[in-house]
Structure 1
Amino acid sequence: MDDDTYRAMLKEVAGVESAKDLSASKALAVLAHLQRRGFKVTSAKAGSSRPLDQEETSKKIRALWLFLHDLGGVRNPSEAALGAYVKRITGVEALQWINHRQAQTLIESLKKWAMRFLPAAVAKLQQDVNAAGCTEEVKVEMARLLSLISRGAFDPMHAAWEFMTDHLNHSKEKS
């Protein structure tokens, strides 16, 4: 795929012009888009014969890992680094081989890890959104999301992060 086609696809699917601007969820959307068009996902490790696991729980674990990278919690977002984390937490060599209980343990540990960074990230995003100016609709939705995060749970905090990140990305596109 040439560079112009690639950037047009990123703009269409994720609303960004560069992969560096992709959030974890947008990166997964781009990956799904490419897979629907016949691209095969393989490990980035040269000579590796083990493809990425495509189970929903594995995709969620990978998305959380990439989200932690977006937050600054993970320095190395590679599949190899994720594999090392999987082995440290579960004792299992590969994400493909974990069972349901181990997958849930990984998901919950990644969520707890993210919650060390997420409140500060959401507070910063809130300041950025307010500074950028927003419509009454956006203010109402932000207030709703922020009222939900007072419980300190991951899911509403992540929803607030995604909403504000998307709003800021769209604001940048307009300017």
Structure 2
Amino acid sequence: MPDVSSDREYRRRALAKIHIAKKELGLSDEEYRDLVSSAVPGKQSAADLTDGELRLLLDRLAELGWRPRLPRVAERPLPPMVWKARELWLQLHRAGKVHNPSWAALGRFTKRMTGVGDLRRLSVKQATVVIEALKQWLERVE
């Protein structure tokens, strides 16, 4: 049986995104209704759309150049401890011990060490574990 609460949550989020996009694109009510009917013929309101039709409308908004903003956590600046881990990671790359210097690769390493792959979500204790592991690895290399 489908999870009705998750369907409602998807619908709520999709409608919120659509109305944010309308505002950010500067669409008038008439332009918005025209857009809805061009994405889903015969309908003029997002409230009347099925989940699949909501996806079509979101795709149409993306074609017009609208992009959803990053979640707030993604906007947060990285803490200094993360930059320290990054510098150690790059030193290991320069030493030839890390093949991929990307943030994503460091995130995968961090996930193996702490269970947390998003560097912005590391606690001080978890960041310390990662930094100490990278320091020890660097000492073994030198």
The one of the two structures with greater contact order (alpha-carbon pairs below 8 A, sep at least 6) is: 2
Larger radius of gyration: 2
With the length of structure 1 as denominator, give the TM-score of the two structures: 0.38
TM-score, normalization by structure 2: 0.46
